Amino acid sequence: MMILPNYEAFYFKKLKIENSTYYSNLLKILENSPEIIVKAQKFALEKHRNQKRKDGVVLFIEHLVEVVNRLKNLGIFNPNVLCAAWLHDTIEHTDTTFDEINEIFGNTIAVLVLSLTKDMNLPKKERELQYVKQLREASWEAKIIKFCDISTNLKDISNSPMSKNKKNKNVKKLFHYLRIIKKDLAENNSSYLKIQEFIEGINVIGAKYRQKPIFI
Domain count, the chain: 1
Q: Does residue 66 form part of some domain?
A: yes
User: Looking at the domain assignment, is residue 54 inside a domain?
Assistant: yes
> Residue 59's beta-bridge partner residues?
52
For residue 82, being part of any structural domain is answered with yes
> Does residue 114 lie within any of the structural domains?
yes
Tell me: the pLDDT tens digits for 10-68?
A: 444 545 445 555 555 555 555 566 899 999 999 999 999 888 887 777 788 899 999 99
- The pair phi, psi for residue 40, each rounded to 5°, is -65, -40
Assign residue 172 the CATH number of its domain.
1.10.3210.10
Asked if 66 contacts 152 with a C-beta cutoff of 8 angstroms, the reply is: yes
H/E/C letters for each residue in the chain?
CCCCCHHHHHHHHHHHHHCHHHHHHHHHHHHCCCHHHHHHHHHHHHHCCCCECCCCCCEHHHHHHHHHHHHHHCCCCCHHHHHHHHHCCHHHHCCCCHHHHHHHHCHHHHHHHHHCCCCCCCCHHHHHHHHHHHHHHCCHHHHHHHHHHHHHHHHHHHCCCCCHHHHHHHHHHHHHHHHHHHHHHHHHCCCCCHHHHHHHHHHHHHHHCCCCCCCC
> For 22-32, how does the pLDDT look when each residue is reduced to its tens digit (9 = 90+)?
555 555 555 56
* Residue at 99 is within a domain: yes
Cα 216 to Cα 99: distance, rounded to the nearest angstrom = 37
Residue 120 lies in a domain: yes
**104-142 per-position pLDDT tens digit:** 999 999 999 999 999 999 999 999 999 999 999 999 999
The boundaries of the domain holding residue 190 are 6-208
- 215 is a domain residue: no
Q: Does residue 178 belong to any structural domain of this protein?
A: yes
